[in-house]
Chains A and B, each alone.
Chain A
């Protein structure tokens, strides 16, 4: 009986996912550009947040390097704009972000706690200033133009990157590799003593998560026309995914997606409807979320649902 119910629930979940996939895939055919524009931003943040959660969620290492890899994607798209086809640029951006993250991770993932967070924060500034100096000295300019891609083209590209990010995240979570990462997060010394190659696991996951950040950067750069190091390596891009993950919850991969979607959408509504109260409301919501929703919106929903279920069963 239990097996039948589990199979049925899994089928319904898969069915819902398929419907969501189909809706997102065919949306540009039926709706206007602004909805697509908003969805592009939601999907962008969902990618960054899920990619961040893939590494920082289970390992407990607070990475603030998201903007560095995302910005590298911007620059790959700008430097090779018009030279390679758009899909090639996106793949190149992922590859470059992977290689850079591999190098940075190998050097720094022996650091722990706040030292790692500060290093990754500094990494963004370092990369930003290196690019700034190269542009100033070598190309004698500040920014670059990027060949634009149609809104539909950007939407489908970001959607494909999102699907790839989710699939990779699910595979990592369900693999031994994911378990190893989780055990590192719970007790790193114990994980090492039980035979897990701690450094390799951390570095590889860090680099894999960077792939999607770089790819997202390359896609979004084509929406900008013009970029410069301050636009590409914006520290907000490092902090927002952390807030979105906290807001949505990190116990389940749906959490970061919900967090990114709600954060972006509600932010947009507040910004356009209540511009004067926007920051105040957002600040209050964040404080309340941290105080009363340690597992995010998803965690709160699960907790309340369990209480409802428990309350209903209690008399029986």
Chain B
């Protein structure tokens, strides 16, 4: 008797499962989460090839619409690709062998979860069969996505992420479809930082770094390049991500009195560092901030206290008329200037413009042919009239700059050389009296 009930319930469970599994599919067929926008095609298309039969280009992405990385989808690569798609579609589309194809985005929320992100990326390539994919957010996700995209022979350009460690994988030749756009420590920012300090005559530095990929890598590269520029690192301290009090660390640094303090950390730690230095009235001659320091909101939070503070980046509205025009357009699109990033924003736009021109030059949607164009061709972008990849990485000459400094509330590029938009302020002014700063509000 007992066995008979079990058997029957097993069949019933099966039917229930079929119903449960089918329902969302049937209901879901009606609602497809895709957005459409178009940008301007150029006249450089290779018309010798037959145009594709399709009427639009679908680009897929697993992006952090929710979760801990959602800030980046809202304020970093998110607005960049949305604005680019809008521009492309407004101009009729991308010119592929003489046929204008509008761009449609198919974006899934990866919930800032790595497993979900990779699964959805696979779905986009294998089930949805999108024409191209855009990258997920964060370096770790990017590393995983690079492998997945390459396994499917899909081009993947980086967005919010990148690190020297991935170069080793690229050097092996395992990632022929991967292109690194965002600048980072070894080729770009630390050599420029060392040059600036050398020019300013700084002799000693303290480094505070977050014990994560970004912090560990930057402190290692800082050790190499600052030492090479004759700047001695007198203090090198690791901090955890959830640090709540930095006063003992700042006091220790204060005792050693270095000329420069560099914080290779993220916005929460950088904000804490600024607040602590102001509270302790510790005034080094130069302060460098990691991610977050390049955002306009950071300058807005600290007001006059940001005068002379350096940041990893970098570009400026004074870099070129094109950069200023893009700043205005992006601010208008985002509805605010608060979240404009003077590190990545122009790089994201440049890589998208580069990608569009590579497609048009290739005159096909074939990934191999476009990848080959990307590896070998130079294109003008908002960032530089001569933008190109060297060994799969944006060449250092293509960037608008590497190190920025806040001067009168404006982000300026202070690299040594022709990218500079303003002379560095060194030493930086002392922190303003507490009543003049909005820090901590």
Contact = CB atoms under 8 A, between A and B. Distances in A.
B9 A301 contact: yes
Interface of B is mostly: helix
A225 B7 contact: no
A34 B216 contact: no
Interface string B226-264: 000000000000100000000000000000000000000
A306 interface: yes
Given A38-B119, A228-B140, A274-B31, A266 B24 contact: yes
Interface string A18-60: 0000000000000011100110010000000000000000000
A141 B33 CA distance: 39
B212 interface: yes
Contact of A273 (B12, B20, B31, B151): B31
Contact of A271 (B25, B109, B215): B109
Nearest to A150: B151
A272 B4 contact: no
Interface string A279-316: 10000000000000000011011101110110000000
Interface stretch (B142-150, B333-341, B371-379, B403-411): B142-150
B7 A258 contact: no
Contacts of A273: 24, 27-28, 31-33
Interface in B2-29: 3-13, 16-17, 20-21, 24-25, 27-28
B55 interface: no
Nearest to A10: B3
Contact of A9 (B4, B28, B111, B144): B4
Contact of B126 (A32, A136, A223, A265): A32
B123 A37 contact: yes
Interface residues of A, number: 56
B140 to A, nearest CB: 6
Contacts of A258: 13, 17
B122 A34 contact: yes
A300 B119 CA distance: 31
Nearest to B107: A275
B140 A269 contact: no
A148 B8 contact: no
Contacts of A226: 140, 143-144, 165
A28 to B, nearest CB: 13
B127 A274 contact: no
Interface in B22-65: 24-25, 27-28, 31-33, 65
A309 B8 contact: yes
A197 interface: no
B220 interface: yes
A305 B9 contact: yes
Number of chain B interface residues as a range: 35 or more
Interface of A is mostly: helix
A265 B143 CA distance: 26
A10 B126 CA distance: 39
A177 B318 CA distance: 75
A32 B125 CA distance: 11
Contact of A145 (B6, B17, B27, B165): B165
A316 B201 CA distance: 100
Contact of B216 (A37, A141, A223, A269): A141
B113 interface: yes
B16 A301 contact: yes
26 contacts: A10-B3, A12-B7, A32-B127, A33-B122, A38-B119, A41-B115, A136-B216, A140-B216, A142-B215, A220-B115, A224-B118, A225-B144, A231-B140, A258-B13, A262-B21, A265-B21, A268-B119, A269-B25, A269-B28, A275-B109, A298-B13, A302-B6, A302-B12, A304-B12, A306-B5, A306-B9
Given A2-B1, A148-B151, A272-B108, 20 more contacts: A5-B3, A13-B7, A37-B119, A38-B123, A136-B211, A141-B213, A142-B217, A145-B143, A224-B118, A225-B148, A226-B143, A271-B111, A271-B116, A272-B120, A272-B123, A274-B31, A298-B9, A301-B16, A305-B5, A305-B9
Interface of B: 1, 3-13, 16-17, 20-21, 24-25, 27-28, 31-33, 65-66, 108-109, 111, 113-116, 118-120, 122-123, 126-127, 140, 143-144, 146-148, 151, 165, 168-169, 211-213, 215-217, 220, 238
Interface of A: 2, 5-6, 9-10, 12-13, 32-34, 37-38, 41, 132, 136, 140-143, 145, 148, 151, 220, 223-228, 231, 236, 254, 258, 262, 265-266, 268-275, 278-279, 297-298, 300-302, 304-306, 308-309
